Amino acid sequence: MTTSNWMIYGANGYTGHLLAAEAQRQGLTPILAGRNPAAVHALGSLLGLECRIFDIAQPERAREALADVALVVHCAGPFSATSAPMLDACLASATHYVDITGEIGVFEAAHGRDRQAREAGLVVCPGVGFDVIPSDCLAACLHQALPDASHLALGFDTASGLSPGTAKTLVEGFKLGGKVRRAGIITDVPLGYRRRQIDFGRGEKSAVSIPWGDVATAYYSTGIDNIEVYLSAPTALAIGMRLVDPLRPLLGLDGVQHWLKRLVDRRVSGPDQASREQQRTWLWGEVRNAAGQMKTAHLETANGYQVTVHGALLAVGHLLAYSGPGGYFTPSRLFGERCVEQLPGSGKIIIA
């Protein structure tokens, strides 16, 4: 496909809106799309950008809407429900696919499309936001520093806040429990499975293991068989996660999920601009090999939502000029293991 058209689907959501506004500020002209006519057209009028209204649950209409589009930045979660039909439409219309998911199951399903994407000459690269560009870069750099590493741990310390979409994804995640990778296999573990003290870059803090996207993606970036991801969290919260774990079957009931998501709609609006500009993020990683050798990595970035906006735009610039092979990629394998350092507000990855 020779067109330079690109699309933000889910442009009227919290992160999609931020991405559309920053793209327009940079002089870019994405097509804004979604299934809510009033919201999408209101944003299009505000930014002076073309709009298309379609529901990805209608395959023929979705393919028609993408027929002249080289790249979709998919921002309409929950991705557990929306990624597969959007991927179907992209593969049918010869359109590169990126998204801003952090969901392990979505990464695994996208990896399962690798052969289709290679045969079609299309790039499939989920997770081009804070999930998982910074941590994926840390993983790749650590693997370079210790190529025979057998264990990888990653983590972050942030006060970035939650958008409505992210909060709803967390609600869905309650029923799935924790996840780690053991001997190459993604393994179920309890919520709050493991706790440890970590210096993310501003002093040692309590941290707890979480089912973050790198449990899936870091394996494809590094080949390391054992992977855990940690979040800075008070000890009381970590203990609370373990206490809640037996209630996961209840939290997964349709009625409970619906009630929790309604609470999100009423109470979560996402961080405002001042908060996004002030709240930064610190990331850490560690690898070790069978002989006990270790390497650590540190990185400081902007607010997670700022990272997501600029990470998505990095993907746009790369793929609109792309002439390489198709297939499934992680961010570090597509854009380079230090690509996070190109994003506004990001520091350098430091390996020790």
Q: What is the Cα–Cα distance from 150 to 292, expressed in whole angstroms?
A: 10
Rg of the chain in Å (alpha carbons) = 19
- Which DSSP string corresponds to 160-215? ----HHHHHHHHHHGGG-EEEEETTEEEEE-TT--EEEEE-SSSEEEEEE---THH
Which two structure tokens, joined as six digits, stand for 250? 């209840």
| pLDDT on residue 239 | 78
| pLDDT on residue 245 | 74
Report pTM. Answer: 0.92
CB burial readout 179-196, b (16+ within 10 A) else e: bbbeeeebeebebbbbbb
Tens-binned pLDDT, residue by residue, of the chain (352 aa): 567 999 999 999 999 999 999 999 999 999 999 999 999 999 999 999 999 999 999 999 999 999 999 999 999 988 999 999 999 999 999 999 999 999 999 999 999 999 999 999 999 999 999 999 999 999 999 999 999 999 999 999 987 665 566 556 666 666 778 999 999 999 999 988 999 999 999 999 999 898 999 999 999 999 999 999 998 888 877 777 777 778 777 777 778 777 766 776 776 566 667 666 678 999 999 999 999 999 999 999 999 999 999 999 999 999 999 999 999 999 999 999 999 999 999 999 999 9
| pLDDT on residue 53 | 98
User: 145 has which bridge partners?
Assistant: none
| pLDDT on residue 250 | 75
| Strand duo 195-199 + 327-328: pairing | unpaired
User: 302 has which bridge partners?
Assistant: none
Which two structure tokens, joined as six digits, stand for 241? 């996660």
| pLDDT on residue 161 | 62
Q: What is the DSSP letter of 146?
A: S
Q: 6-130+306-336 has which CATH code?
A: 3.40.50.720
Q: Architecture of domain 133-303 in CATH?
A: 2-Layer Sandwich (3.30)
Residue 206 class from Cβ within 10 Å (0-12 exposed, 13-18 middle, 19+ buried)?
Answer: middle
Domain ranges for the chain: 6-130+306-336, 133-303
| pLDDT on residue 235 | 82
Which two structure tokens, joined as six digits, stand for 141? 């750099």
Q: What is the Cα–Cα distance from 108 to 314, expressed in whole angstroms?
A: 23
Helices in 10-113 by DSSP H: which ranges?
Answer: 14-25, 37-47, 59-65, 79-93, 104-111
Q: What is the Cα–Cα distance from 348 to 340, expressed in whole angstroms?
A: 8
| pLDDT on residue 349 | 98
Torsion of CA 250, 271, 161, 187, to 10 degrees: 60
Q: What is the Cα–Cα distance from 264 to 212, expressed in whole angstroms?
A: 21
| pLDDT on residue 260 | 67
